[in-house]
Amino acid sequence: MNIDWIERGLRKPGKTQSGLARALGRNPSTVTALLKGQRRLQLHEIAMVAEYLEVTPPSDLGSNGSATTATVPVVGYVGAGGEAHFAGGQGPFDEISAPYGSTKATVAVRIKGDSLGYAFDGWYAVYDDRHNPPADSDIGKMCVCGLDDERVLIKTLRPGQLRDRWTLYSNTAPPIYDQIVLWAAPVKALVPP
């Protein structure tokens, strides 16, 4: 983890570990763990640390405070209801703050539809942009799925009744049975707009 910028800031007159802990609303042991590499800096804490230390953080800080990316690209839309929206080749349209655990492969899609629940329409699903065929480890997980008819949906995967087929579940819509799923990427986070 890149904490050099924090250590430099703490060497400034009047800047202390206990003061930084107060600025973060945390126990001083949290800052000690951060400086020892035992704790990762959360994305929302980067601005708080920078303000207290009166420094500009490196522009490439990621969700864990290390040098990666502070944003992830929004590459398109994904269907959460019966109507599907193709995500490939549409974007990037925008960027959102990188949630914890993001890597350079992490992307986001905007959810359209209410089968995950009305409240999630317009949210972002964040996943690593790897188009691997579904595996047993994906069973029961919410995934962004690419189907053989070019639909891209966000669904929970279960084995289908037919061999090499998958049944796709959501919270409020009926299951979509025995689909050919070309690729599935587990959702790492759901992020509000």
Q: Is residue 29 part of a domain?
A: yes
Per-residue model confidence (pLDDT) at position 84: 46
Judge if 100 and 180 occupy the same domain: yes
**Rounded CA gap, 192 and 169, in Å?**
21
| Strand-strand pairing, 152-159 and 176-179 | unpaired
pLDDT tens-digit map of 65-84: 444 447 888 888 887 765 44
Per-residue model confidence (pLDDT) at position 119: 82
**Rounded CA gap, 98 and 151, in Å?**
25
Take residue 59 and report the two structure tokens written for it.
């522009």
pLDDT tens-digit map of 128-172: 988 899 999 999 999 999 999 888 888 999 999 999 999 999 888
pLDDT of residue 112 exceeding 60: yes
Question: What is the residue range of 172's domain?
Answer: 71-191
pTM: 0.61
Residue with tokens 């049975």: 177
* DSSP-assigned beta bridge partners for residue 166: 159, 179
Judge if 79 and 47 occupy the same domain: no
How confident is the model over 79-107, as a mean pLDDT? 69
